[in-house]
Amino acid sequence: MSHSVTLFALPGVQLLDVSGPLDVFAEANRALRRQFYRLNVMAAEPGVITASSGVRIGADVWLEEALDYVTDTLLVAGAPNAEQQRLSESQCAQLSVLCARSQRYGSVCSGALLLAQTGLLQRRRVTTHWACADLLALRCPEAQVEADALYVADGPLRTSAGVTAGLDLALRLVEEDLGRDIAQEVAASLVMFFRRPVNQGHFARRDSLSLTGRAALQELQRWALAHLPTIGGVSDLAAHMDLSVRHLNRLFRQQLDMQPGSWLENARIEKARALLEEGRLPLKAIPEACGYRSGDVMRRAFAKRTGITPAVYRRMFHQS
């Protein structure tokens, strides 16, 4: 008995989106001392696949010639430029057929943007790299995008978060196929978490903190970032611009497509991250430095955004 796994990759693929899952499956073979997983890389057309790093990958099979090809698991790898990549109608149709023939199918990282072009993500729970989540939700509005999740299973569909989360996905598939003991052995051998203690939230760096909008709103953002400890709320932002809160809300919606309160909360969280990573201030001093009324308020807000408490975040990311 064996199980075939195929990684579909386009030119510019993120190498770890392919090699990471394949190494997990290969390690499972070593743990079993036999070849349970048969591993293949599929390209869209004949020729080598050049990854975003410049490494060249030799494909085992080509989509255009895979009329009778059958695989048990099919995963679509992501790429740094996945949002610009487009599959042709025939490629979408062929990929859909391959997915329908497989026991399970899915994507690694931004590969969800490619798989979405087939229509197979509609009315499904999915995840992808946190930086692609909003775009995936926009392009595939009927999908339920879980932006913070590392791994999501919905029926035959399996999707993973960004890059290294492809290893988490592969490990979950090993557990499905071979049981917990083998999956734990693989995790130990690869020196990876069997279950990561965090979600995607603590990795995300939100674009909302970039200085965007027209000059007046950018000036407000600069001022706010420099005065976070003394800003009580949105009313202080409005007062600095000599505007009503309603008018400020309107400006933020028009120019940033978000509420000023959300931007302010993002700013506080990002400053808290930086101070926790830096490690100079004691933990109890950070809430005040970020403008929080108390440590409890910051702890709840931080855990809601990142999935872990400030104390755990410092232990994990402090730049010692």
Q: What is the pLDDT of residues 54-74, one digit of tens each?
A: 999 999 999 988 878 999 999
pTM of the full structure: 0.71
152 contact partners, CB below 8 Å, separation of at least 6:
125, 126, 127, 146, 158, 159, 160
Q: How far apart are CA 59 and CA 18, in angstroms?
A: 11
Answer positive or negative: Cα dihedral of 305, 311, 316, 318.
Answer: positive
Smallest CA-to-CA distance from 155 within 134, 177, 133, 126 is with 126
Low-confidence ranges of the chain (pLDDT < 70): 197-213, 319-320
Q: How far apart are CA 8 and CA 57, in angstroms?
A: 12
Angle subtended by helix axes 180-189 and 165-178, to nearest 10: 150
Strands 61-62 and 56-57 come out as: unpaired
Strands 37-43 and 61-62 come out as: parallel
The pLDDT tens digits for 138-187 are 999 999 999 888 999 999 999 999 889 999 999 999 999 999 999 999 99
pLDDT at res. 256: 84
Q: Which backbone phi and psi does 216 adopt, to 5 degrees?
A: -65, -40
Domains of the chain in start order, with CATH, are 3-202 (3.40.50.880), 207-317 (1.10.10.60)
